[in-house]
Amino acid sequence: MAEQYTAAMIGTGGIAACHMGYYVPNERVDLVAASDINEDSLNAFGEKFGVDQLYGDWQTMLDEVRPDIVSICTWNATHPPMTIAAAEAGARGIICEKPLGEDLGGPMDALAACEKTGCRLVVHEQRRYMTGFATARSQIQAGAIGSPITLCWRNEGGLLNIGTHFLDAAHFVLGDPGWTRVIGWIQRNTDRYERGSYCEEKLHVLVDFEGGHQLRLAMDIVEGEKGQECSAVGPDGLMYFDREQVTVFDADGRREVQPEEQPDYLEDLVSWIEGGPEHRNAAHHTFKTQEIMMAIYESARTRTMIEPPYTKRESPLAEMIEAGELPATGEAYDIRTQAGLDYATKMRAGK
Ligand SMILES: NC(=O)c1ccc[n+]([C@@H]2O[C@H](COP(=O)([O-])OP(=O)(O)OC[C@H]3O[C@@H](n4cnc5c(N)ncnc54)[C@H](O)[C@@H]3O)[C@@H](O)[C@H]2O)c1
């Protein structure tokens, strides 16, 4: 009989419900426990999903339940310490939310801890499992628009929050090439945060990849701009794609590409735990994205182009803000949750 697994959830807010979309239908993984510092959220989650081992303290939950798989669905700064603790508590797989941290040092330590215990760490950059992005990757690999390719994306919501998705998706559709240079520009004139993390107000970026590919990413340039769609331009054509669909324009005209069926997110993790192929969201991919995000901030800080290897542990954005190099007017505000900002402010003050 196939092996059964237990799972536990840390953080029971918005994205935890999305993770439950993986757990509920899966017959081999039983989510048995959950933890949250917000009692109302925790109780509502327990009731909705029939989970009765509920904990206010996540470390106690890990120590007592010893789950095989842990979902980390809390605010950004907590991701590295929770990943390390879950690996040390014997987890065989972790689904950690993006971003993997607010700097590079935390993610470095998280990857090292999982490497040490053999825990399979995936970071929830789920675009790699969406039909549109996966089909775009196959089309590019099949040479539908030639090479090299320039990708353009624009959206709102901050680099660590939404930009991380586009950086990871760019890697994915291009076939995971290494990055070769980064130029970043940012503005932060008001005291802006996202789930407690420092957040720039506006950002414009060029990222070059091996193979001569380039990503142009504009975040928050136009207020409220939301656009999941990416344009990809190559020497032989043009392609538009989003989560669901792909349209190619080439010498033969316009064609909608038949989307390809995608595998199940959690089944792929179980398979990886059991010695199967690496999960598409294996953390080394996201680590590359984290490097690029920090290199973007470093480029803005030093007003220079940054090339790999990039190994600085600290966040250049935090460095600039804390050194008073990005003076901000007005009250602190959070574009996602005030509770996240209150929590992070206490953590930063060491309380
Ligand atoms: N992959 C995606 O598409 C996607 C979408 C939304 C959010 N996210 C990520 O998921 C994470 C959570 O976002 P959200 O929208 O669910 O936030 P949320 O505010 O809805 O939920 C977060 C929960 O974590 C709890 N929490 C915070 N610190 C805790 C701690 N130390 N111990 C236990 N519980 C704790 C909070 O009380 C809250 O209930 C963020 O890092 C965000 O970037 C990813």
pLDDT tens-digit readout, 118-153: 999 999 999 999 999 999 999 999 999 999 999 999
Angle, CA 106 vertex, CA 36 and CA 296 arms, to 5°: 115
43 lines ligand 1 (CB under 6 A): no
11 lines ligand 1 (CB under 6 A): yes
Q: Where in the chain is the domain with CATH 3.30.360.10?
A: 127-261+282-351
Distance 194 CA to ligand 1 centre (A): 11
Question: What pLDDT, on the 0 to 100 scale, is given for residue 226?
Answer: 81
Indicate whether this model's pTM tops 0.85. Answer: yes
pLDDT tens-digit readout, 70-109: 999 999 999 999 999 999 999 999 999 999 999 999 999 9
Residue 212 pLDDT more than 90?
Answer: yes
Question: What pLDDT, on the 0 to 100 scale, is given for residue 351?
Answer: 64
Q: What is the 3-state secondary structure (H, E, C) of the chain?
A: CCCCEEEEEECCCHHHHHHHHHHCCCCCEEEEEEECCCHHHHHHHHHHHCCCEEECCHHHHHHHHCCCEEEECCCHHHHHHHHHHHHHCCCCEEEECCCCCCCCHHHHHHHHHHHHHCCEEEECCHHHHCHHHHHHHHHHHCCCCCCCCEEEEEECCCHHHHHHHHHHHHHHHCCCCCEEEEEEEEECCEEEEECCEECCCEEEEEEEEHHHCEEEEEECCCCCCCCCCEEEEECCEEEEECCCCEEEEECCEEEEECCCCCCCHHHHHHHHHCCCCCCCCEHHHHHHHHHHHHHHHHHHHHCCCECCCCCCCCCHHHHHHHCCCCCCEEEEEECCCHHHHHHHHHHHCCC
Of the candidates 278, 146, 114, the residue with the CA atom closest to the CA atom of residue 211? 146
Index of the ligand 1 atom closest to the CA of residue 41: 39
Distance 37 CA to ligand 1 centre (A): 11
pLDDT tens-digit readout, 239-258: 999 999 999 999 999 999 99
- Which CATH number does the domain 5-126+265-281 belong to among 3.30.70.100, 3.30.230.10, 3.40.50.720, 3.50.50.60? 3.40.50.720
Distance 161 CA to ligand 1 centre (A): 11
Question: What pLDDT, on the 0 to 100 scale, is given for residue 1?
Answer: 79
Question: What pLDDT, on the 0 to 100 scale, is given for residue 229?
Answer: 80
Per-residue pLDDT, averaged over 58-66, amounts to 98
Tokens representing 142 are: 């099949």
The CATH number given to 127-261+282-351 is 3.30.360.10
Residue 228 pLDDT more than 80?
Answer: no
The lowest-confidence range among 112-126, 220-234, 292-306 is 220-234
pLDDT, averaged across the chain: 97
Index of the ligand 1 atom closest to the CA of residue 16: 16
Distance 73 CA to ligand 1 centre (A): 5
Q: Where in the chain is the domain with CATH 3.40.50.720?
A: 5-126+265-281
Tokens representing 178 are: 């290494």
Residue to mutate, 75, 130, 351, ligand 1, most ligand atoms under 8 Å from C-beta: 75
Percent of the chain with pLDDT over 90: 95
